[in-house]
Amino acid sequence: MELNISEEFKIICKEILNLNKTVEEWCQIEADDMFQTNSYEGGFDATEKEFCFSVFVEDIEYWFQVSLNEVKQIDEDLIDKVQIKIAE
């Protein structure tokens, strides 16, 4: 299933980019709840080497992951959707 990128998630992406860290630096400070908004909760996972988020859509929890490169592309409006899956 695809989820349209919201302005709320774009703000998270901008926060990530403003921290100006490499993937290796993110691995050192991984936290699964570093970014929290009304709709999203997530952070960097060193095992996956990606940002992992949960989001609720119509009271169902979904998970999705984005790489640091995808975060940049979302910020630049090059990506407007992400693949999500039902939380396990």
Please check the confidence at residue 71 and state whether its pLDDT lies above 90: yes
Residue 1 CA to residue 83 CA, distance in Å, equals: 6
Q: What percent of the chain has pLDDT over 90?
A: 94
Band of residue 32 on the pLDDT scale cut at 50, 70, 90: confident
Please check the confidence at residue 50 and state whether its pLDDT lies above 90: yes
- What does the radius of gyration of the chain's CA atoms come to, in whole angstroms? 12
**Average pLDDT in the 26-38 region?**
93
Mean pLDDT estimate for the chain: 96
Residue 42 belongs to domain spanning: 2-86
Please name the amino acid found at residue 39: S
| Number of domains comprising the chain | 1
Band of residue 88 on the pLDDT scale cut at 50, 70, 90: confident
> What per-residue confidence (pLDDT) applies to 27?
95
Residue 71 CA to residue 41 CA, distance in Å, equals: 15
